[in-house]
Structure 1
């Protein structure tokens, strides 16, 4: 079957624009390719050619620098965007299977968007590493173009009576929301860092712990993906496989994670409660109140993750039970009833 971007049924009727360019679905899909091509053309020379000269200015021994505003939100939105794009690619491939000829416009723009999203987060990571926010202007333009083109496609779906009953309509709506949120994050970086449109940009220095060559525990400073997978510990694990490790290899903890720092923080909160004359100024309740005020956010977060981990521990057995039950029903295997007594 010959390949064609818009298909070749009805003597290439898909290429006709008698009713307007934007009313032709294939040309709207072609328009959605433009932002991704723009990102590839802008970022690839910087990532593979011009990055060496910029990285020489970074006098730091670690592979991370600092986090721009909205760092975690950007990574979470990127993961969600990748998932939705995979759904769009799958939907396009399934729809293409129902046509007489190949319609690349059904899944090719989504595939390029998937690659462009991965490129954008790699590009963003390198900009954070070098602390050179002016290069984020490329991502600002990209999110703007992607948001506009997806909005055009969403509006055209609505005009042609394609509603919530169609999967592609829902996916396009989700993409418009995600691109809009990523554009908002990018604008917020400009607002906080003031690296453009402002006369006095706001300089940010890397944490002091990263300047200490003895600090090897980088969990608070790496990106969200590395935090979740502990990718930054690969070097440490490889070293432990080759030879016995000692304290020099383990290194020191960051200042904010040392026992003395946490003790001073807890003591300051405790003394502040005593100074206010709280009714819980003494006794066990005073300690609990001080702990909640000093470390309440971390305690809630760690407790939430612990509960989620315990709940997800049941996912494996339930999945196995579902698979075995499905196979048993298909094969007609008798399953004895399990009594509750």
Structure 2
């Protein structure tokens, strides 16, 4: 079966725009390819030329140290965007199976969108590494174009009575929302860093810890993906497989994580509870700990509870599988009995 972007169905002129250009669904899907192709065309040369390069202004021994505003939110939104693109691709494949001929426009924009989203986060990581925020303008243009093209597609769906009861409408609406949020994140970076459209851009210096060659604990400074997977520890783990770890290879902790820093923080929270009206009042150690370390404690506790609850997922899944197999075996046994009775009857 020959491949065609708009299909080769008999008696159907898929390339006709007689009823309006935007009323042709194939053309709208082709329009949605434009932002993805634009991003890949612009970013690939930059990535190949500057892959692994460091900023010439700052000499540090780590390759990740700078986080732009909205760093974690951008990574979370990108992960969600990748997931929605996978759903869009699967929906396009299923829809294509119902067609007489192959319609590439049903799933190719989703595939290109997945590739472009992956490229965008790799490109963003390299920009953070090199501390050259002006290159973020490419991502800003991409989010704007993607938001506009997906909005046109959503508008046409609504115009042709394709509503929330259809999966493709819901996927497109989610994509519009995600592209809009990523565009807002990019605008916020421009507002805070002032790297363009402003006379005095904000200058950022690397953290003091990363200028100390003895600091090897990089958890606070790496990107969200590396934080979640502890990817930054790979050199230490690989080295531990080859030879015993030495103390100098472990290095020092960052200043914010040392015992003295935490003691001073707790002491300040403790002393802040003393008032001039009641100087003899005994401060609460629990309130002091909450003020000093409340956010990390609540976050770690939440993840701990979620991990414990998810620990029940495995046994529940196994229980469901065993129950399904028992029911299936029962059906097979009853079917065999039925067949046996029928065969006995035929012999009679």
Residue aligned with 1:244, SS: coil
Match of 1:329 in 2: 327
> Which residue in 1 is equivalent to 2:187?
187
**1:65–1:130 CA contact under 8 A, matched in 2:** no
2:260 alignment partner in structure 1 = 260
Is residue 283 of structure 2 the alignment partner of residue 288 of structure 1?
Answer: no
User: C-alpha separation between the residues in 1 aligned to 2:75 and 2:276?
Assistant: 41
| Cα deviations by residue, 1:267-297 (Å, 9 ceiling, x for unpaired) | 01111111365799426xx110100111111
State the match for 1:227 in structure 2. Answer: 227
Pairwise CA distance, 1:331: 2.0
Distance in structure 1 (CA, Å) of the matches to 2:13 and 2:307 = 54
- Cα distance change on mapping 1:265 and 1:54 into 2, 3 Å: closer
Q: Normalised by the size of structure 2, how large is the TM-score?
A: 0.92
**In 2, distance between residues paired with 1:316 and 1:85?**
28
What RMSD in Å do the two structures reach over aligned CA positions? 1.7
Judge conservation of contact 1:58–1:130 (CA < 8 Å) in 2: no
**Which runs of no fewer than 5 residues in structure 1 stay unpaired?**
335-341
Structure 1 segment 90-101 matched on structure 2, within 5 A: 90-101=90-101
The alignment partner of 1:32 has SS state of helix
Work out the CA distance in 2 between the residues paired with 1:317 and 1:311.
11
Q: CA deviation at 1:11?
A: 4.2
Aligned match of 2:21: 21
1:1-341 mapped onto 2 (5 Å cutoff): 1-51=1-51, 55-275=55-275, 281-282=281-282, 286-332=284-330
- Provide the secondary structure at the position in 1 that maps to 2:326: helix
- Secondary structure of the corresponding residue to residue 182 of structure 1: helix
Question: Which protein is bigger by CA-based radius of gyration?
Answer: 2
Q: Any unmatched runs of 5+ in structure 2?
A: 333-348
2 CA distance for matches of 1:71 and 1:61? 21
Deviation sequence 1:35-82 (CA, Å, 0-9, x none): 000000110010002457665555211120211000000000011111
> Which runs of at least 4 in structure 1 moved beyond 3 Å after TM superposition?
50-58, 275-281
Contact 1:43-1:123 at 8 Å conserved across structures:
yes
Q: Deviations over 1:71-114 (max 9, x none)?
A: 00000001111111100000000000011100000000000000
Structure 2 Cα separation of the partners of residues 212 and 54 of structure 1: 17
Q: Deviations over 1:14-51 (max 9, x none)?
A: 11100111000000000000000000011001000245
In structure 2, the residue matched to 1:339 is none
Give yes or no for contact 1:194–1:201 (8 Å, CA) kept in 2: yes
TM-score, length-scaled by structure 1: 0.94
CA displacement at 1:321 relative to structure 2: 1.1
In 2, Cα distance between equivalents of 1:244 and 1:235? 13
Question: 1:328 and 1:9 mapped to 2: Cα distance?
Answer: 47
